[in-house]
């Protein structure tokens, strides 16, 4: 087992120079690094001071990588604060993100390095842990556009460091000239084509081949979920359908009547549905995947919101949303314990 680290301006480690401009990080024996499971949990502990929510910026950066078309998914799930993996005993398999006045007890250097990504890996290149430390002794902000000298942009540096956690390195330090958020001098604030090609080269592209026709309809794109609800959609023909939610797998009811799928499938028994208690997952961002005969057909990134308990008992309430959804109507909602959520109880004209 080995460990190493990646930095923003200076890189300690090894490079894998591909035929493309992107650069992959290698072990000391020349094996490129990657997450074998094609997913990792991000555990941010950077906070939300005033109107600058660094935790939200960390989530946004992770979701941008999730949308890069690679067969990899970050799940952002803030949990208890744990030490970064300075030592083997601290390995927890997550990407922990923290502020630090030091780097595992060592002072930040004076060469402009403002963030590190530490990681542990096996000799075969399988990443076991990757933790990110941001220099807390400098000023940070969150903004788009040109780099401001007086404050570092947290989101674009988070995007850069997550690229290191994925197994990418600095194209410019390897002699390449290309627009990329993975350059050692981070000027762009969004992923570039070179970054996207790099992560796709490591983990493969999503939906390279058609498995069968189908759709994951609920949850939809950029969904937020709470309480008890459903995952549903349709698949034309399959022996086995599974719904993977984070590390859990659920077998949905299948072959339900969906007459609207006849033009595509030639028959109607194509619907599926599964009930999910989102509270069991805890707050954060999780990945929902539709697996057809063991292969992924679709995936969604879902933000889970909870009250911090698996089931909220003995609560009741009824509230009026005045003038919603328009000025002539009031909508009455109530808490429904069986759904762990709110339902519309009445819709009435405003008096």
> How many whole angstroms separate alpha carbon 9 and alpha carbon 109?
11
Average pLDDT over the chain, rounded to whole?
86
Interacting residues of 294 by C-beta distance below 8 A, sequence separation 6+: 240
Q: Where are the alpha helices (DSSP H) in the chain?
A: 54-66, 154-166, 193-203, 262-265
Residue 205 pLDDT: 82
130-150: pLDDT as tens digits: 999 999 999 999 988 888 777
Residue 176 pLDDT: 80
Pick the CATH number of 2-203 from 3.30.1280.10, 3.40.390.10, 3.30.70.260, 3.30.60.50: 3.40.390.10
- Domain parsing of the chain, residue ranges: 2-203, 214-304, 318-349
Q: What is the CA radius of gyration of the chain?
A: 23
Residue 209 pLDDT: 46
> How many whole angstroms separate alpha carbon 130 and alpha carbon 162?
9
- Residue 12 pLDDT more than 80? no
22-80: pLDDT as tens digits: 899 999 889 999 999 999 999 999 988 766 789 989 988 998 998 888 889 898 888 77
**pTM value surpassing 0.85:** no
For residues 235-274, b (16+ Cβ closer than 10 Å) or e, as one string? bbebeebbbbbbeeeeebebeeebeebeeebeeeebbbbb
Confidence of residue 297 (pLDDT cuts 50, 70, 90): confident
How would CATH label the architecture of 214-304? Sandwich (2.60)
246 vs 116, which has greater pLDDT?
116
Q: SS3 breakdown of the chain: % helix, strand, coil, rounded to 5?
A: 15, 40, 45
Bridge partners (DSSP) of residue 106 are 103
The arithmetic mean of pLDDT across residues 224-233, rounded, is: 94
Q: 171: how many CB neighbours lie within 10 A of its CB?
A: 26
Q: How many CA atoms lie within 13 A of 176 on its CB side?
A: 24
CA torsion 73-79-83-84 (nearest 10°) is 20
Nearest to 245 by CA among 203, 293, 291, 193: 291
């Amino acid at each position: 087992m080995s460990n190493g680290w990646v930095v923003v301006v200076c890189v300690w480690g090894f490079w894998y120079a591909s035929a493309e401009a992107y650069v992959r990080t290698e072990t000391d024996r020349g094996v490129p690094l990657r997450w074998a499971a094609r997913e990792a949990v991000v555990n941010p502990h950077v906070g939300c001071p005033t109107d600058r929510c660094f935790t939200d910026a960390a989530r946004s950066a992770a979701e941008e990588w999730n949308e890069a078309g690679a067969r990899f998914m970050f799940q952002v799930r803030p949990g208890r604060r744990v030490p970064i993996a300075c030592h083997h005993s601290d390995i927890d398999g997550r990407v922990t993100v923290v502020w630090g006045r030091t780097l595992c007890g060592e002072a930040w250097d004076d060469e402009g390095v403002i963030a590190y990504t530490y990681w542990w890996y096996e000799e075969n290149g399988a990443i076991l842990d990757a933790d990110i430390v941001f220099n807390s002794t400098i000023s940070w902000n969150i903004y788009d556009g040109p780099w401001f000298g007086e404050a570092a942009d947290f989101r674009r540096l988070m995007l850069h460091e997550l690229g290191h956690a994925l197994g990418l390195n600095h194209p410019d330090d390897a002699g390449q000239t290309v627009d990329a958020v993975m350059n050692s001098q981070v000027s762009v604030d969004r992923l570039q084509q070179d970054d996207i090609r790099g992560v796709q080269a490591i983990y493969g592209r999503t939906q390279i081949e058609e498995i069968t026709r189908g759709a994951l309809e609920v949850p939809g794109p950029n969904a937020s979920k709470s309480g008890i609800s459903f995952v549903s959609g349709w698949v034309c023909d399959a022996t086995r359908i599974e719904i993977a939610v984070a590390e859990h797998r659920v077998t949905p009811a299948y072959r339900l009547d969906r007459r609207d799928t006849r033009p595509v499938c030639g028959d109607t028994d194509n619907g599926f549905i599964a009930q999910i208690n989102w509270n069991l997952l805890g707050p954060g961002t999780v990945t929902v995947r539709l697996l057809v005969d063991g292969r992924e057909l679709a995936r969604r990134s879902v933000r889970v919101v909870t009250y911090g308990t698996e089931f909220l008992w003995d609560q009741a309430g009824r509230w009026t949303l005045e003038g919603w959804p328009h000025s002539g109507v009031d909508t009455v909602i109530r808490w429904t314990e069986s759904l762990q959520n709110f339902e519309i109880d009445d819709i009435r004209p405003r008096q």
